Amino acid sequence: MNKVTVSAPGKLMLFGEHAVVYDHPCLVTAVDQRISLTAEIIDTPDFELEATDVDITGYKKPISELGQGEIPKGAKFVEIAVKNIYEQFGLDKGIRVTTSSEFSSKFGFGSSSASTVCAVKALSELFDLKLDSKGVFDLAFKAVLDIQGKGSGFDVAAATYGGTLYFVTGGKTIEPLNIDSLPLIVGYTGVKADTVTLINQVKEKFADNKTRLDEIYNEIDGIVEKAKPEVVSSNWEAVGKLMIQNQTLLKELGVSIEKLDDMITGAVNGGAYGGKLSGAGGGDCMIAFGPSESLTEIRKGITDAGGEIMDIKTNAEGVRVEDDQSNSS
C-alpha cells in the first residue's frame, strides 16, 4: 500500500466537562462532522502537508527535521503525530499528507484531535503497524500532550472509537455505551471559546477555595455516574434533569455565559427536559433533550435567545479507512 484515506469524527460532551481534566469520568458522543486525511508515500525523504482548511499549503520539511523549528499552528498536530510514529517504529520514507474538513472552524468540535487520530490511523495502515484502537488512542493522545502539555483525551477517544463513550481522564477507562440513537438538540452561541484559557480561568477563580472546587468536581462525577445508565436506557427525561444539575455546577465554576443561560432557559421553556452547555463553556454550544412533539418549540426557544440550531448526528462512527488504494501505482 502506498496511499490511504481515513476519516474521523468530531465530538460533543454530554456530561463531565472540566472535571474530566482532573481524573473524573465524562460522557462524550462522536458527531458526524468529519475530518478526512490522505497519506501517501513519496520518493523524496520529506514530510509534505496540504491542509487548506487551516491555511496550510505547500508545507514541506525533511523527515529528519520533523518537530524542529517553528511549526505553524495548523501543521502542529499532524506533524508531531507523524514524528512520534516515525521515531517509535523507525520509519524513514517520505510522506505527503492532505487533509480536508467538514468541520466549521468556529465550532469547538475537536478538529485538532480528529486530525491527530487520522494521522496515526493512516500511518498504521500505510506502514502495516497493526495498531488497535487503544494503540491509535495512545499515540494520538501523546501527540496532543506533547503540544498542549495538558488535556484529558476525551476528544481523542471520541475520534478513535466513535459512538458514545464513558471515559476517564487519560484513557484509564474507555467504555463504549450500547445505544442506538441520541436525540440531542444542539444550539451554537456564535461565540468562539478557548478551552485552555477557560481551564486556567477556573483554576484562578478557585485558587483560594480549592476545597469547594474539589467538591464541585466530585458532584459532577456523581452526576456522570447517574447519567450513564439513564443514557443507555434512553430515559431522556431523567437525563435532562441531570443536565440541569450539571449546568448549575458549571455556572458556579464561572464557565457559562449569559447567552448560554438564555438559550438553555429558552429550550426548557419550549418543553425540553433539561439542557446545559457542552464543552469548555465561555460560548460554543449548548445541548438539550426533549420530547419529539416539543422539538419545534425547543428549537424556537434556542433561536429566540440568539442561538443557531446545529443539525448534526450524534453517536457517529469512529476513525475509519475510506478507501484502500493499495493497488494504485
pLDDT of residue 104: 64
Mean pLDDT value of segment 49-67: 93
Tell me what pLDDT residue 166 has.
98
pLDDT on residue 107:
59
Whether residue 276 has pLDDT greater than 70:
yes
Q: Which residues pair with 7 in a beta bridge?
A: 36, 320
Confidence grade of residue 190 (pLDDT, cut at 50, 70, 90): confident
Tell me the pLDDT tens digit for each residue of 2-25.
999 999 999 999 999 999 989 999
Amino acid at residue number 22 = Y
pLDDT at 106: 54
Whole-number Å distance between alpha carbons of 188 and 246? 19
Residues whose CB is less than 8 angstroms from the CB of residue 221 and which lie 6 or more positions away in sequence, other chains included? 16, 19, 24, 25
Region 183-198: what's the mean pLDDT?
A: 88
CATH superfamily of domain region 185-310:
GHMP kinase, C-terminal domain (3.30.70.890)
- Cα distance between the two ends of the chain: 9
Query: 138 forms bridges with which residues in the sheet?
Result: none
The answer, yes or no, to whether residue 329 has pLDDT greater than 60, is: no
Q: Average pLDDT, stretch 298-311?
A: 96
Q: 103: which DSSP letter? A: S
Locate the domains of the chain by residue range: 3-179+315-324, 185-310
Mean pLDDT of the chain: 93
pLDDT of residue 326: 46
pLDDT at residue 108, as a whole number = 60
pLDDT in tens, 199-256: 889 999 999 999 999 999 999 999 999 999 999 999 999 999 999 999 999 999 999 9
* pLDDT exceeds cutoff 70 at 283: yes
As given in the structure block, the three cell numbers for residue 148 are 498542549
Which is catalytic among the residues 23, 132, 155, 194?
155
221 given a catalytic annotation = no
What is the CA angle 214-289-11, rounded to 5? Answer: 65
Q: Supply the pLDDT for residue 199.
A: 87
CATH class, domain 3-179+315-324, is alpha beta
Find residue 166's DSSP bridge partners.
Answer: 27, 175
Structure confidence at residue 105 (pLDDT):
56
Residue 328 has pLDDT above 80, yes or no: no
Query: What is residue 327's predicted lDDT score, i.e. its pLDDT?
Result: 42
On the question of pLDDT at 117 being above 60, the answer is yes
